[in-house]
Chain A
Amino acid sequence: MKKMINLTVNNRDYSLPVIPGETLAALLRQRLHLTGTKIGCDEAECGACTVLVDGEAILSCVYPAVRADGKTVITVEGLAEQIKGAYKLHPIQEAFVEHGAVQCGFCIPGQIMTAFALLKRNPDPLIEEVRFALKDTLCRCGSYPMIEKAVLAAARTLRTGEPLRLPEIQESIHHKAMIGHKHLRPDAVEKVTGKAIFTDDLHFDGMLFAAVRRAMIPHGILKHLDTSEAQNLEGVHAVLTAEDIPGEQNHGLVISDWPALIGVGQRVRYVGDAIAIVAAETPEIAKQAVSLIEAEFELLPVISNPVHALEPDVPQIHESGNLLKHIKVRKGDVEQGFADADIVLEDIFYTQTTDHAFMEPECSIAVPKDDDRLEIYVGSQIPYQDRNQVARVLGWDEKRVRIVGQKMGGGFGGKEDIAGQIHAAMLANVTKRPVKLLYDRHESLVAHPKRHATQIKVKIGAKKDGRIVAVETELFGDTGAYASLGEKVMTRATTHSAGPYDVPFVKGDCYAMYTNNPPAGAFRGFGVTQSVFAIESMIDMLAEKLKMDPIHLRKMNALHVGSITNTGQELTDSVGLLECLERVEKEIHKNASNPFTSKVDPEKPHFVRAWGIAAAYKNTGLGGGAPDFSHAEIELYKDGSFEIRSSAAELGQGLVTVMQMIASEELSVPADQVRVRVMDTDLTPDGGPTTASRQTYITGNASRLATLKLRGMIEEFLGDKYDFAASQIEFIEGKVIAKGQSWTFAEIAKEMLADGQKPIALYRYEAPQTQPLGTGGNMHFAYSYGVQAAEVEVNTNTGEVAVLKVISANDVGMAINPLGLQGQVEGGVMMGLGHALTEEFIVEEGHVITDRLARYRIPGIMLTPEITSIIVEHPAADGPYGAKGVGEISSIPTTPAITNAIYNAVGVRIHKTPVDQELIAKALWEH
């Protein structure tokens, strides 16, 4: 057997001893520290680990390292040339940056390497060939359309030597100097070169590796726990159980109901519940130790669905019972509404559990510091909440904990709850060594909160002319074993369950139920994804019954300025729904006449096509009376550069870009003069949670107002010192000018500092006051509106569904960065399409069936439809430059647009997501 591996990596020769069982990915990442090669699944499903071996793209996570002996390897780090410290990007890398193909960036090295291998083999690929090559390289941010265009543009440049073709991006109709124009992400270059560091890429001296022993039974009492064998295993430094928790046992975002560890005699509520944690010299030893921990349980009956959970005489999962919350929405007397109706329809819909499947699995590293503090490196959507939850379990003052937020390979709501932060912290505290807890894909799928599965009953009453007079809904939401954000999510589901319509009488009842399934929490769309499927299906059913055009029916009932929402809020501005409907209508008619009737393909008579449409709205911000604030701080440095700071999270969605643009707009300085720092509880002020599409609005406002405050300070300083009125001072092209005199920012910083003034401004922005549900008034300070139309093709033999085209119109108030917006819109469609067609997180009797990426399918590039994005801009009075949220609305109407199109094509109504092709086929053959 070989003792050494001799290989060439990125033009450098290495000779390394063979390590048994090592994969090429491990060799590259751990021994050569080439961490650009990412591990998204470790099971040959995602393509993130793609590298070239002797010119061919392979998956390094399933490639034995010894096999690379004598071979030449190229990783993403090997593409760019470094010339005098600056990068000269490879044209593929440059194209990814320029086309906005980079969002969270985690999949990008794999995309680039796969594309690189393609273009070596085929310098002039067709679009189909690009798709075929990237078929199994997944991007959860859904950047596929941009990736495709980037690869084609790069191919052309490589072939012809001509400059890269740039994308055509429509600027905002309300644009300013910088705001509203295409702007590249400040982190794009490091993401395409593999230099971007995510948590698992970090290494600390003396670092130990953690693993978690999970109950793997859905419901029971832990009777007996024996960790002695694990303790005795060589290389194990600590094995901790519930008895070792120094502070509070529970954590939780709203309700503290989730034990960090379940103790002997206590209740296990889902398979992912932790019963012991281990820190060891290597991840392998930690895993082995976990397998040596013996546990015995008294099994209890499993509550596997929310309807069952509410029945009398079933076991109660929490002391408070199985009902997390009964949520009520009331607007007038709904019975009166139904009595007035000419037509009443009723039906029931089901939506599945889904997983965020962010490409980067969860990772936390806790590092003990000399001053009795602990630093935690983690990609988290809510750093300050992490700090609080970790500190509570440790029994510490929260100031002793510092969360150092890392780049996130996607979050989508799935990185709001605690994952490994507390466990890593406990182990680091005991071992006094840095401890890394990395979930593999399997653990990620089993453990973290999902999207709520729902059952939604809708009753709708309308007049003959199409006016909707009453809507009654009843929802059951499966919040799983712990509350997480369940109450909030199901509240949104309920308040939005009558759709974006002006309905005089509404009644909604929702039962958010505990079950023994994995917990459910925040997930892009936040409950509205579910209820919009139900109501928008009903609206189409109503249109059919009334023989009305489905767009016309929606236009007739659409919310508009002056409407009163279901929760009693008068909409006073920024309601772009009608315009969304009109513009989508116009766009569809460019494509087809009679779009909502089925068309048979004359060449292939068993292929039938039709369009479908759906509309939605979604709140921006927390609302419901919750204080909604963010802090931003901006500082001017002696070299004339600025740093703007907030703990708000960048998960790939582009907040950092927005903050940079705002500061540079308000100061009239080039963007590269502004650095952005986020997600650090020591160095950045609290930006609140990154959820509810709130950051552009809230932290955007905080950033703008902090910048204006600093600007004011500068004006005042110069005014005082040189005797100008503030109105005489102008900020122009990176300089400050007054009465013919001009200063650079470096000069101003020095003068201010010399004068004892720190050029630093902190602003706390508080969003307009909102009211709790049930009290009337403004439940939210802004809403975004969206309409999507989808064209599908159904194979009437097999029931297979292909989505060919999607038109997506979104009223986002104002498009601060149109390039970033494009990514959010297209990615939103892809996520919505996954929800409609491919994704189903299956749990049977509390046991997770879809515990590998191979079983949980997220859409790949082959499923990408042609997406047309229409930006509608009805400015929100208090939004920064009129902007409001976009992150969620862009993915909400996709599912019903697709299922309505299926109905229009073949007459099969989908009551349950994801679409089951077998069900369609069966309905057709039984017909």
Chain B
Amino acid sequence: MTLWQEYLQPTSLSEAIQDLKSAPDPVLLVAGGTDVLLELKQGHLSPVHTLIDLSNIPELCAVEERGDTFFIGAAVPINRLMSHPGVIKHAQALVDACHMMAGPQVRNTATLGGNVAHALPAADGTITLLALDAQVQIASSAGLRMIPFSELFLGPGKSSLDKKTEIITGFFLPLNKPGQASCFKRIMRPQGVALPILNCAVWIHREDDSIHDVRIAVGPGGPKPFRATNAEKFLTGKQKQGENLAEAVRELIAQAQFRTSPLRATADYRKHVVSGVFSETFEEAWKRAA
């Protein structure tokens, strides 16, 4: 029961796309391998013929400003993001999230691409990128295409990616402008799996004491990564006041589909704690935006 027969290490995107097409099936992409290898070892995935390693492809390992956007390659190890000046400047929430994910050894190989491609509704990187209004760039033999982040997800564990032909190359984020900032926080449970009970990312654009624009993502708030668009709409243009934030929370709870996850948290608990997590995340982002 050899978990894989061939391990390919393409050094360019085109080579990877070609490998994906021509390598004997079953084929799987691997970035950090911190999900895939466990799934193979534990029998959640059947042994494959080919693993295609994405970690040596320069296009997927870039982190840089590109025009009026900031690009983060899908295969950049999480630990590099934590200390990258550009990420610190343009995506503080992502720095927060990266600090909380796993331990240093896992972060030295795990990637955002892998975090997102798994399509879990509460993956920390996913929730953060959602609030940061990322665009996803996807490569295939047909070329590159770009989709809004939320269109990547169809349901729990299901992405719109065509696993047989497509590779995520990276994420494009808007550049951070004065008055804008973001933050990420989460609540864990000391027992059981290391999936957050609740996580939350907030991006805001503040003008003095009023909320010029805001984006709020919460996980798990439904089968797909959830954006609290109603709460966002409510807050936009409002003063930052206790009542307004409280009303935003009510909007959020009404729109979200909080569920009970056995052995992890009840829907009631999530509805209760979301208020605190949201306001702490919001406050921190607000402070940063000053």
Chain A residues engaging chain B, CB cutoff 8 angstroms: 1-2, 18, 20-21, 23, 42-44, 47, 50, 56-59, 62-64, 66-67, 69, 114, 117-118, 132-133, 135-137, 284, 287-288, 291, 442, 606, 797-798, 800-801, 837-840, 842, 849-850, 852, 854-855, 857, 863, 914, 917-918, 921-922, 925
Contacts and interface: CB of A to CB of B under 8 A. Distances in A.
A21 B2 contact: yes
B41 A42 contact: yes
B2 A114 contact: no
Contacts of B4: 20-21, 64
Given A21-B4, A284-B2, A849 B263 contact: yes
B18 interface: no
Contacts of A855: 192-193
B190 A62 contact: no
Interface string B27-70: 00010011001100110000100010101000000000000000
Given A44-B106, A62-B33, A854 B194 contact: yes
A801 B109 CA distance: 31
Interface string B19-32: 00000000000100
B189 interface: yes
A64 B8 CA distance: 11
Contacts of A66: 7, 9
Contact of A2 (B9, B55, B187): B9
Contacts of B109: 58-59, 62-63
Which 10 A-B residue pairs are closest in the complex by CB-CB distance? A136-B103, A21-B2, A797-B276, A62-B37, A21-B3, A838-B190, A135-B103, A918-B269, A56-B108, A66-B7
A837 B190 contact: yes
6 contacts: A21-B3, A57-B105, A58-B105, A59-B106, A67-B53, A854-B194
Interface of B: 1-9, 30, 33-34, 37-38, 41-42, 47, 51, 53, 55, 79, 102-106, 108-109, 187, 189-194, 263, 265-266, 268-269, 272-273, 275-277
A64 B53 contact: yes
B34 A798 contact: no
A814 to B, nearest CB: 36
Contacts of B266: 918
Contacts of B51: 64
A595 B84 CA distance: 44
A842 B192 CA distance: 10
A461 B8 CA distance: 73
Contact of B1 (A43, A50, A287, A797): A287
Given A58-B108, A842-B263, A63 B9 contact: no
A471 B219 CA distance: 49
Contact of B34 (A62, A69, A288, A918): A62
A221 to B, nearest CB: 27
A291 B102 CA distance: 33
A47 B47 CA distance: 25
A925 B272 contact: yes
Contacts of B79: 56
Nearest to B189: A917
Contact of B5 (A20, A69, A136, A854): A20
A43 B108 contact: no
B24 to A, nearest CB: 11
A66 B34 CA distance: 16
Nearest to A53: B108
A21 B38 CA distance: 13
A852 B105 contact: no
A908 B273 CA distance: 18
B9 A47 contact: no
Given A63-B109, A921-B273, 20 more contacts: A1-B6, A2-B7, A2-B9, A21-B5, A43-B42, A47-B103, A58-B108, A64-B7, A64-B30, A64-B33, A284-B2, A606-B276, A797-B273, A798-B277, A801-B190, A837-B190, A839-B191, A840-B191, A849-B263, A857-B191
B102 A136 contact: yes
Interface centre among B6, B55, B79 (most CB of A within 10 A): B6
A857 B33 contact: no
Nearest to B19: A1
Contacts of B263: 842, 849
A925 B266 CA distance: 14
Contacts of B108: 56-58
Nearest to A42: B41
A560 to B, nearest CB: 38
Interface centre among B33, B105, B272 (most CB of A within 10 A): B105
Nearest to A606: B276
B37 A135 contact: no
A50 B79 CA distance: 16
Nearest to B265: A918
A854 B41 CA distance: 14
Nearest to B47: A21
Nearest to B109: A58
B9 A57 contact: no
A649 to B, nearest CB: 31
A184 B278 CA distance: 51
Contact of A64 (B37, B42, B272, B277): B37
Nearest to B36: A62
A67 B1 CA distance: 20
A276 B2 CA distance: 23
B79 to A, nearest CB: 8
Given A62-B37, A838-B190, A857-B192, A1 B103 contact: no
Given A57-B108, A838-B190, A63 B33 contact: yes
Nearest to A69: B9
Contact of A922 (B187, B192, B269, B275): B269
Nearest to B7: A66
B193 A854 contact: yes
A675 to B, nearest CB: 37
B2 A20 contact: yes
Contact of A117 (B3, B104, B189): B104
A142 to B, nearest CB: 16
A23 B189 CA distance: 31
A414 B105 CA distance: 29
A893 B191 CA distance: 21
Nearest to A924: B272
B49 to A, nearest CB: 10
